[in-house]
Amino acid sequence: MKVDFYILSGGGESGHTRYTCRLTEKAYKLKHRIYIHVDNSVDAQQLDELLWTFSQNSFVPHECINGEADEATPESPVVIGYNDHAPDGYGMLINLSQDIPEFYKKFDRVAEVVADADALRQTSREHFRFYREQGLTPDTHQISL
């Protein structure tokens, strides 16, 4: 399993979600199937709307699932959810949640996007420590917005 931390400088919390859209678009173009895990329905709806509008030249087909993981359309390359289950058949997890979901091990790749905000950076440090304690070696990428 590969774990990557994308550490953003500049952009604040809005930069966090906009960069997530860019990362999702890049992974989608590389033919990855992506599950984006958020904390709640409000976060899911905001990311859903931004994925449709963040770039005039972009199209990232996606869907939100509100209940169980099996609600996802099998053809959907990108799914946004916030429950305790993730749909099968997705190789990349983008974790935007305050917590690391228990199902993270079912993915080949995990991406954590670290916003330029003190509270969110502290959560990301805890996530980084958790992955190291699990025997994983996260890679970090410094991103200037």
32 vs 69: which has the higher pLDDT:
32
Domains and CATH numbers, the chain: 2-144 (3.40.50.10110)
Q: In this structure, which amino acid lies at residue 115?
A: A
Across the range 119-144, mean pLDDT stands at: 93
Query: Could you tell me if 36 and 87 are in contact, meaning their C-beta atoms sit under 8 angstroms apart?
Result: no
Secondary structure (3-state) at 118: helix
Q: Look at residues 81, 94, 84 and name the one whose alpha carbon lies nearest to residue 3.
A: 94
* CA distances for 49 relative to 24, 34, 62, 86, 126, angstroms: 14, 17, 10, 21, 29
Q: Look at residues 93, 73, 72, 84 and name the one whose alpha carbon lies nearest to residue 27.
A: 93
Q: In this structure, which amino acid lies at residue 9?
A: S
| 51-102: pLDDT as tens digits | 998 888 888 999 998 765 556 677 899 999 998 889 899 999 999 999 999 9
Across the range 113-139, mean pLDDT stands at: 90
Per-residue b or e along 86-125, where b marks 16 or more CB atoms closer than 10 Å to that residue's CB: bbeebebbbbbbeebbebbebbebbbbbbbbeeebeebbe
